[in-house]
């Protein structure tokens, strides 16, 4: 099929490349000319495993195209996927202005019957509004139907999550739209769950918020483990054998981040309140996560008289390994607190440093300073204290003895529980983690 994709972020670009990989002809549309040129040269604007290789392969095969000319892209498409951002607004609701802009472009441009597929995460009922909005501005006498097709990819494994998804969710209001989407996804060979549009929209939020609940629950239990003398890793292991619970998302740490969980929990909270209902479980997850992010800093703050002019090693800046995304990363909250208290930070991240520099340029910041280094060992050299915020392999591979040998005072606050407690003790490291 001839498919167009509006937006070339994590959702749009990954979807477009994967559609091309299974044989469709795909045009990815973006407003940024420099970004389009970058993609045409085979370079991905986002850090994502396997993405560049598939971009280059399918562009060379003539199945994948990039453009800023939405008019030529949309006019003869069988399906147009909308994958633009829906950022969080101050009140927790989703900003749908980018969705609306694309919808109007489609209405004024299409010259044949097509299905418009909203892949972005949107509040329940948004697809109904998008269809009405398109009808309000439709220029030609063509059949346009809107469908919901939420994504369930995780950053760092987005390509694999798309090509080998557990299921494909499609939300439609007609046999025509359902048929088109099933034809698009037939080459993937994956289970398809077909529901109405509002159910599809809710499945996305309900799925993400359930995982956020699971993370916050385990962090809450981890905090109680510390007080009661239990070990959260032993607890999680015992829980994982119960097939009703499963073994995923049981790792305790300093909270979730990224582009999905924080935004989607707040958006569902906002939606529920619009209906006069309070999602108490989701509210609890949000509250726990907010406090969890700075739990290690609070521990360190109780120990140190001051951070002023202390050399602080920060290992890991992104919200998770495998991505350069900093959205809602725990490092942001903690670095801000450390800089306010005059710390001299030496920060390491294998791919996230350049993005972090946009928020905290190298040199003086607030009351402290920040220096970006090229290895964990460089950050640790002569440090008074170390914070670990991301479980990158490059950080995990640092041996316990390295902390003792390179730091001025080997004091480590580990937000990802990377090390065995006994090994760190034998190495002479004063080691603090989560729930142990």
- Among 151, 261, 154, 156, which residue's Cα sits nearest to residue 215? 261
Q: Which of 28, 114, 260, 386 is catalytic?
A: 260
- Among 356, 345, 347, 334, which residue's Cα sits nearest to residue 308? 345
Distance CA 319, CA 155 (A): 10
- DSSP letter, residue 87: P
The answer to whether the CB of 39 falls within 8 A of the CB of 55 is yes
Report long-range pairs for 132-137 (Cβ below 8 Å, ≥24 apart).
133/100, 133/103, 133/104, 133/107, 134/103, 134/104, 134/106, 134/107, 135/107, 136/107, 137/103, 137/104, 137/107, 137/108
Task: Tell the residue number behind the tokens 């003869």, with chain if given.
Answer: 76
- Among 66, 65, 57, which residue's Cα sits nearest to residue 21? 57
Strand order in the sheet with 144-148: 64-67, 25-29, 2-6, 79-82, 114-118, 144-148, 168-171, 192-195
- Among 73, 153, 128, which residue's Cα sits nearest to residue 105? 73
Rg (CA), the chain: 24
The answer to whether the CB of 185 falls within 8 A of the CB of 19 is no
Question: Is residue 225 annotated as part of the catalytic site, yes or no?
Answer: no
Distance CA 414, CA 303 (A): 15
Catalytic residues: 260
């Amino acid at each position: 099929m001839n498919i167009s994709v509006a937006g070339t972020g994590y959702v749009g670009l990954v979807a477009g490349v994967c559609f091309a990989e299974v044989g469709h002809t795909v045009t990815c549309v973006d407003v940024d000319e420099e970004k389009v040129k970058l993609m045409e040269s085979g370079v991905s604007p986002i850090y994502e495993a396997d993405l560049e290789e598939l971009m280059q392969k399918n562009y060379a095969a003539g199945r994948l195209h990039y453009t800023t000319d939405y008019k030529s892209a949309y006019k003869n498409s069988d399906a147009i996927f909308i994958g633009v951002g829906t950022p969080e607004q101050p009140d927790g609701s989703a900003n749908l202005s980018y969705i609306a802009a694309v919808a109007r472009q489609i209405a004024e441009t299409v010259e044949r019957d097509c299905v418009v597929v909203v892949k972005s995460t949107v509040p329940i009922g948004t697809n109904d509004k998008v269809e009405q909005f398109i009808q309000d501005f439709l220029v030609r006498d063509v059949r346009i139907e809107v469908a919901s097709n939420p994504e369930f990819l995780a950053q760092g494994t987005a390509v694999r999550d798309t090509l080998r998804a557990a299921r494909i969710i499609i939300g439609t209001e007609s046999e025509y739209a359902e048929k088109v989407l099933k034809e698009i996804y037939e080459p993937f060979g994956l289970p398809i769950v077909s529901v109405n549009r509002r159910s599809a929209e809710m499945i996305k939020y309900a799925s993400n918020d359930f995982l956020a609940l699971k993370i916050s629950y385990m962090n809450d239990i981890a905090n109680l483990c510390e007080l009661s003398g239990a070990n959260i890793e032993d607890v999680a292991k015992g829980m994982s054998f119960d097939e009703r619970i499963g073994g995923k998302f049981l790792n305790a740490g300093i909270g979730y981040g990224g582009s999905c969980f924080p935004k989607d929990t707040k958006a569902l909270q906002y939606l529920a309140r619009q209906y006069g209902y309070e999602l108490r479980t989701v509210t609890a997850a949000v509250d726990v996560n907010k406090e969890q992010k700075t739990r290690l800093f609070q521990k360190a703050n109780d120990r140190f008289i001051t951070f002023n002019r202390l050399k602080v090693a920060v290992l890991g800046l992104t919200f998770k390994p495998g991505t350069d995304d900093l959205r809602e990363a725990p490092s942001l909250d903690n670095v801000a607190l450390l800089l306010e208290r005059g710390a001299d930070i030496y920060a390491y991240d294998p791919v996230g440093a350049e993005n972090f520099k946009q928020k905290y340029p190298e040199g003086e910041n607030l009351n402290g300073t920040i220096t970006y280094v090229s290895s964990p060992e460089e950050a640790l050299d002569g440090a008074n204290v170390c914070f670990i915020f991301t479980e990158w392999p490059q950080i995990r591979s640092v041996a316990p003895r390295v902390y003792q040998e390179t730091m001025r005072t080997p004091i480590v606050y580990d937000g990802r529980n990377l090390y065995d407690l006994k090994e760190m003790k034998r190495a002479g490291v004063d080691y603090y983690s989560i729930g142990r």
